[in-house]
Structure 1
Amino acid sequence: MSDSSRDTPDGAGWGPEDRGDYRQLMPRQVEKLSWLDPRLLWRARNGVLASWFGDPTGGTRNRWVEQRRTAGAPADAVIRRDDPDHFSFMVIGDTGEGDDPQYAVVPGFLKAGEGTKFAVLASDVVYPVGSTDEYGTKFFRPYRDYQAPIYAIPGNHDWYEDLQGFMRVFCEAPPLAPRPAPRRLTPAWLRSLLWHTARTPDEQRLAEARTLRAAPAQQSVQPGPYWALDAGPVRIIGIDTGLLGTLDAEQGRWLREVSTGPAPKILVTGSPLYVDGEHHPCAIEGGGTVDDIVRDPAHHYVAAIGGDIHNYQRYPVPVDGRTIQYVVAGGGGAFMHATHTIPRVGIARVTEEDFRCYPLRGDSLAFYSRLYGRRLRMRRFFTLTEAEATAVVAERLGITPTRAQGQPVRLTARIRLVAALLGAGRRTERRARFRLPVRKAYTQLFSPGSATYSPPFFKCFLRLDVTPDSIRLRCFSATGNRRAEVEPPVEDEVTIPLR
């Protein structure tokens, strides 16, 4: 097995570049998204409009679900598979930018995914707005050699065209009939004036794309944007958190129903419940939260896996004498969200010693120091080596470096200043007087506009091996280097008891 980032700098991808073969999988021409492009931001405006004038996704979602039920989908939205008691499946989140980082994940994903029964794609299948015409290069082509079904839950980007592409590809659903025009001078009417709607898809282009995953073993049809899947001894439940990260009342009622029963359960969601050292329980319209349902001992949840944030995090939360593994798994291909901004973890009785993340905070800080140095044309000032970044993060958090260091690093005033400016986490949430936008604003704007197209990429995906007694969850990394393609490194591993 290859060294991981927890073992050596080379395992993190900092060694001499030996780029993998992933580029052979890519189309000749690749569109490089820039979230600093006003035209792209305008296309992706629906999330902002929903927050200003009211979120219509609950009503639209219910129309999609009703359409699928009328077409014969099971009323309980449960997919019943004939898997043995011992089986494996993959989870990969936030994949579809269609560029180097997404395709760099594919060789390792195929290698680690050998023998698995299916995969679950958690959030944001296609960027920037979930267009049907982009599924060819951002879904069908990269996963054409994965010889098993892929189920998916949508993310907010898939909703930017009212879920038309997602429902067409994963549910074989025709477009919805147009809704009646809202009453004039209401918030809904104002929203409709600016709402981005889906373009008519190119049918020939979609048909050609489908041929890339046309093998019988690869086929599946979902009952809708949210579903439950019975596989072997476990039930996997995928929920759709729409544009703003909440559940409508009807989906909340369904979630409570499918969560009953003694089977161990895994939740897959587009909005992680624990992330960046914070708790986001996910509100349900009409009252209650998703995490209330997950924590209820009568429901037997053992894990909750969320996309949306583009890295890996794990919080083993003690709940009533048991442990629920809360996982962030959004590192499947899109730009990387920083981990070095996460403060020292101390939440829900999870300590820094219990917490795991990928990339390691030091590697994240080193990555973004290079990025800021390049963007601001101040490379000599901003750029930190991986050893310097690891040492200064350890100092600021008051922890032992995760990766053993070679020669001791002398921390200079420049190193400490760069770490502070880039928002490196502290022992507490005390705010610096001035820092560059690396947390809230950075997540929303600068980070998406700063994707890199050469290794290391710090991407990741999960493999879960299920038995009647336990689930073995492993996080594999994809750096874009050849060694990670041949033997994907394991960045984290935990065994979850089922009995």
Structure 2
Amino acid sequence: MRMMQAAMSRAEDGKQHRDLLYDHFSEKDDFWFDFMADTGDGGNSSYAVARLLAKPSIRTLKDDAQVTLPRGDLLIIGGDLAYPNPSAFTYERRLFVPFEYALQPPPSYKAEQIAVNKPFGDQLRQYDGPQCFVIPGNHDWFDGLQTFMRYICHRSWLGGWLMPQKKSYFALQLPKRWWIFGLDLALHGDIDVYQFKFFTELIMEKVQENDSVIIITHEPNWLTDWYWSDVTGKNISHLICDYLKGRCKLRMAGDLHHYMRHSHVKSDGPVHVHHLLVNGCGGAFLHPTHVFSKFSKFDGVSYECKAAYPSFEDSSRIALGNILKFRKKNWQFDFIGGIIYFILVFSMFPQCELNHILQDDTFSSQLSSFLETSNDWSSSCLCSSCCCSDSYVTS
């Protein structure tokens, strides 16, 4: 699929990268963008996040002072749009419905119609509403990206957010010489040669020496590589270290369903990436953070954790509660499991020559026969063990 996208990235009029590079935000004076990932569980949790994103503004506290944050001009979604697998049902019910409830699309929008000519260039500059760009995650690739292409690249609206993108990866030119590179890692944890070629050419032709770049991937390989003692994303590292050369100010990812932010520790050596951020709190279940508490180095650069949700202490306590409090919080599981186990055992009675138990008239007599049979089995097993022991001693 990525190869097919690369083959189609040259427009009919000969303008290369028309479907991959978007610069309509670059002339704005004031610009905000939101980022979320892993919204695929659907239901109340996904709607709660979508509702916050849809509000014209939200108020929060910072250093005991109230801060008002406006809705982003741009929403970036970092993959895993529906669990457990991509399908028309999961995308509709677990992604599009919560977002449409949070912010309605225009009346002219018809979900069954394919978007052939999406707005581009001046058309997007004249549009003042929120827009959305999406990269796929590993769950979105389980069907070869077919559902993602049909619902994201061939539709125009996610709720009230306009979706101009036509491919699974893209580059956005922002105001003040900032850029966003949205990468598609597929199921390999890395970009392919066609993406590498597009982004390297873009860097050499348009990204200037003092520009700043935000790279967004689905998987935070700086954490997963450290945890599994592995090395992945070699093409991404090559792109960042040898082409951007310190201009990558921030890497953002999802996949892990928590929030963690690391910043580099000042040193005399080169800094390839200044900040690392994971935000997989789009509505899916929670992942622990304490297992990454000792992470401190990536690509030869030292980092320190600036924020984590849940905190390392809370994460450890929640993980311990999964062991100690599971049966208390999920007593229904024991009850239902016990019934299923009893039915399975009961169904084996005829094969174990226990039909006489079922022939009794009342439940109490059946239970009494069952207990007597169990005692007989225990006695026979004990005798058999003794006989075997005597035979062993005699021999």
TM-score higher than 0.5: yes
CA–CA separation in structure 2 for the residues paired with 1:255 and 1:314: 25
Q: Does 1:79 align with 2:22?
A: yes
Structure 1 length-normalised TM? 0.50
Equivalent residue number for residue 227 of structure 1: 170
Tell me, yes or no, if the aligned pair for 1:259 and 1:299 is still in contact at 8 Å. no
Structure 2 residue corresponding to 1:104, chosen from 23, 48, 61: 48
User: Contact 1:277 / 1:343 at 8 angstroms: preserved in 2?
Assistant: no
Q: 2:79 aligns with which of 123, 135, 139?
A: 123
1:289 is the counterpart of 2:235: yes
Paired position in structure 1 for 2:270: 320
Q: Judging changes above 3 Å, is the alpha-carbon distance between structure 1 residues 323 and 267 closer, same or farther for their aligned structure 2 residues?
A: closer
The match for 1:340 is: 290
Q: Distance in 2 between matches of 1:272 and 1:292?
A: 16
CA, structure 1 residues 71+103, in 2 after alignment: closer, same or farther (shift >3 Å)? Answer: farther
Q: What is the identity, as a one-letter code, of the residue corresponding to 2:196?
A: G
Compute the displacement of 1:211 (Å): 7.8
State the superposition RMSD in angstroms.
Answer: 3.1
**CA 1:327–1:212: 2 relative to 1, 3 Å:** closer
Give the aligned partner of residue 236 of structure 1.
180
What pairs with 1:273-422 in structure 2 (closer than 5 Å)?
273-275=221-223, 278=226, 282-283=232-233, 288-296=234-242, 297-298=244-245, 300-317=247-264, 320=270, 324-348=274-298, 349-350=301-302, 352=304, 354-376=305-327
- Mapped pair 1:247 → 2:191: yes
The one-letter code of the counterpart of 2:16 is: A
TM superposition shift of 1:308: 1.2
SS at match of 2:250: strand
Cross-structure match for 2:99: 143
* Secondary structure of 2:28 counterpart: coil
Q: How far apart, CA to CA, are the structure 1 residues paired with 2:158 and 2:273?
A: 41
Match runs of 1:23-42 below 5 Å? none
Distance in 1, Cα, partners of 2:307 & 2:137: 24
Counterparts of 2:14 and 2:96, CA distance in 1: 24
Indicate the residue corresponding to 1:170 in structure 2. Answer: 152
Deviation at 1:315, TM superposition (A): 2.0
Deviates more, 1:105-114 or 1:85-94: 105-114
Q: 1:367 to 1:105 in 2, by over 3 A?
A: farther
SS of 2:142's equivalent in the other structure is helix
* Per-residue Cα deviation, 1:405-445 (whole angstroms, up to 9, x for no partner): xxxxxxxxxxxxxxxxxxxxxxxxxxxxxxxxxxxxxxxxx
Residue among 217, 225, 240 paired with 1:269? 217
CA contact (8 A) 1:277 1:347 kept: no
Alignment of 1:420-439 (within 5 A): none
Larger Rg: 2
Counterpart Cα distance in 2 of 1:322 and 1:340: 25
How many residues in Structure 1 have an aligned counterpart in Structure 2?
Answer: 277
Distance, in Å, in 1 between the alignment partners of 2:12 and 2:140 is 22
TM-score, normalised to structure 2, is 0.62
Measured in 1, the distance between the counterparts of 2:151 and 2:189 equals: 22
Counterpart contact for 1:131–1:165, Cα < 8 Å: yes
1:61 aligns with 2:40: no
1:456 corresponding residue in structure 2: none
Residues 37 and 79 in structure 2, CA contact (< 8 A), matched pair in contact too: yes
Q: Deviations over 1:209-238 (max 9, x none)?
A: x8873x5xx323213111101121211000
Matched, 1:132 2:88: yes
Q: What is the CA distance between 1:269 and its match in structure 2?
A: 0.4
When residues 165 and 337 of structure 1 are mapped into structure 2, their CA distance, relative to the original with a 3 A threshold, is same
Partner amino acid for 1:350?
S
Contact 2:135 2:183 in 1 (8 A): yes
Contact 1:93 1:121 in 2 (8 A): yes
Q: Distance in 1 between matches of 2:194 and 2:47?
A: 37
Q: Say whether the 8 Å CA contact 2:47–2:99 is kept in structure 1.
A: no
Question: Deviation of residue 370 (structure 1)?
Answer: 2.8
Q: CA deviation at 1:258?
A: 2.5
Counterpart CA distance in 2 for 1:211 and 1:97 is 20
Higher RCO (CA < 8 A, seq sep 6+): 1
Q: Which has the higher helix share?
A: 2
Per-residue deviation at 1:152? 0.3
Q: 1:299 to 1:361 in 2, by over 3 A?
A: closer
C-alpha distance in structure 1 between counterparts of 2:15 and 2:82, whole Å:
26
State the Cα distance separating 1:136 from its structure 2 match: 2.3
Change over 3 Å in CA distance of 1:115–1:371 after alignment to 2 = same
Structure 1 gaps of 5+ residues are 1-59, 174-209, 380-499
- CA 272–345 in structure 1, closer or farther in 2 if over 3 Å, else same: closer
In the alignment, the residues of structure 2 paired with residue 248 and residue 276 of structure 1 have an alpha-carbon distance, to the nearest angstrom, of 20
Deviation track 1:171-224 (CA, whole Å, cap 9, x = no partner) reads 118xxxxxxxxxxxxxxxxxxxxxxxxxxxxxxxxxxxx8873x5xx3232131
Q: Is the 8 A contact 1:94 1:334 kept in 2?
A: yes
CA–CA distance in structure 2, aligned partners of residues 313 and 150 of structure 1: 23
How far the C-alpha of 1:143 sits from its partner, in A, is 2.2
Question: Are 2:36 and 2:77, in contact at CA under 8 Å, matched by a contact in 1?
Answer: yes
Q: CA distance change for structure 1 residues 369 and 300 in 2, over 3 Å: closer, same or farther?
A: same
- SS at the partner of 1:142? helix
Please give the secondary structure, in 2, of the residue aligned with 1:254: helix
Q: Residue 118 of structure 1: CA displacement?
A: 1.1
The 3 A distance-change label for structure 1 pair 109 and 73 is: farther
Distance in 1 between residues matched to 2:189 and 2:232, nearest whole Å: 7
